[in-house]
Amino acid sequence: MKKLLVSAVACTVALTGASFSQAQNPHGANAAKYGIAVVDVTYIFKEYPKFKGIMDGMKKEMEGAEAQLKADRDRIQQMEERRDTLQPSSDEFKKLDENLARQKADFNIKAGTIRRDFMEREAEVYMQTYREVANAVRVYATSNNIGLVIRYNGDDVAATENRQDVLRAINQPIVYQNSIDITPDVIGLLSRGAVPAGGPTAQAPGARAVR
């Protein structure tokens, strides 16, 4: 349902002076009226084109790195098979065995470094994206006189029997919201690049970041 909502809203979120109008998003029509809104951060991460592009690029890089590691692993396995055909007491066996030990150690270091690097880069991308989302939420809320934005999960669990999904729905604090979902508006701002860059969360002094 949200995909249809986003496609309808993303192209119509407009900047008028310093105000971002929410009139085109019926699911968030009451946010300014009540001064409170909800936002599905998880859904924004899934639909934000910039984030998706970066993660897709990193996925391709990781696949290339994994292919290289597999080639190295296969080469080491071939060396092991060759070593096992030799007499353990022979000089050639001992020389190949020592070489294999070095190769395995180098492989483990290389594999660990590659995976650690990707995990660190992924964490940086998630943090930067969260900052952009929080900044977009702040800008939109400020422009529409919204004093509180609460994170929630907008997935419809009525048709699912997945235990984890049901438990998440039960445990989330939002039981009911009356057209105060500004998720499509935030995605629209991010997709259009309509939000100026800010600090870590671009928040007012003394305020907390959107959680």
Find the angle CA(180)-CA(181)-CA(185) to the nearest 5 degrees: 115
Nearest of 137, 131, 132, 163 to residue 152 by alpha carbon: 137
pLDDT of residue 208: 47
Mean pLDDT of the region 128-147:
95
- pTM: predicted TM-score of the whole model, two decimal places: 0.73
pLDDT of 19 > 70? The answer is no
pLDDT tens by residue, 41-69: 999 999 999 999 999 999 999 999 999 99
- The CA distance from 26 to 16, in Å, is 18
pLDDT of 1 > 50? The answer is no
Q: What are phi and psi of 15, to 5 degrees?
A: -105, 115
Q: How many other CB atoms sit within 10 Å of the CB of residue 15? A: 14
pLDDT of 124 > 60? The answer is yes
pLDDT of residue 11: 40
pLDDT of residue 198: 54
